[in-house]
Chains A and B, each alone.
Chain A
Amino acid sequence: MAQLRQDHAEFVASGAEVVIVGPDNAEAFQEYFSEHDLPFVGLPDPEHRVLRLFGQQVNLFKAGRMPAQVVIDQQGIARYAHYGHSMSDIPENSEILEILRELHSEAFSAAAPA
């Protein structure tokens, strides 16, 4: 989370919203986000609704692999997923940012007249 915080400006510049989903309740989110000055959307999901929803798409989510990151493009299509093998197994920001820039330029060229 602190790692994502470092490059927040770059995430914004690449046209992305960072959304954190977790099992903690709203109070715990409030406390953690304010303590670490996190500018992200924080979604308390104690019932794991979103995780289960994504888990139903077998290709998208392997059973219970956490932590996980999914990049969704502007058309609502999941384009990248990373599953942690351990708590510390998270992708570098640079890897996610490269994907976002790619998606951004893709969307831009699709919108441009031929």
Chain B
Amino acid sequence: MSPRAALGLPAPDFELDDYTGHPFRLADLRGQKSVVLVFNRGFL
């Protein structure tokens, strides 16, 4: 099975502080990096 990616929808932008307190904004990576966004349920 080919995992070819083709959703083609703009990801909604968001801004959150990272755990060290630095602001992270998704749109800041545009034109620079791709992003693997992982939604975690929580650390056990």
Q: Chain A residues in contact with chain B, CB under 8 A?
A: 1, 4, 11, 14-24, 26, 28-30, 32-33, 41-45, 49-51, 53-54, 56-57, 59-60, 66-81, 87, 91, 95-96, 98-100, 102-104
Contact B12 A53 (CB under 8 A): yes
Q: Chain B residues in contact with chain A, CB under 8 A?
A: 3-14, 16-21, 24, 26-27, 29-43
Number of A-B residue pairs having CB atoms within 8 Å of each other in the complex:
162
* Cβ–Cβ < 8 Å partners of B37 in chain A: 19, 21, 69-72
* Cβ–Cβ < 8 Å partners of B32 in chain A: 74
Interface SS of chain B = loop
Contact A50 B10 (CB under 8 A): no
Whole-angstrom distance between the alpha carbons of A21 and B24 in the complex? 11
* Interchain nearest-CB distance for B33 vs A (Å): 5
In the complex, the chain B residue whose C-beta lies closest to that of A92 is B3
* Interchain nearest-CB distance for A19 vs B (Å): 5
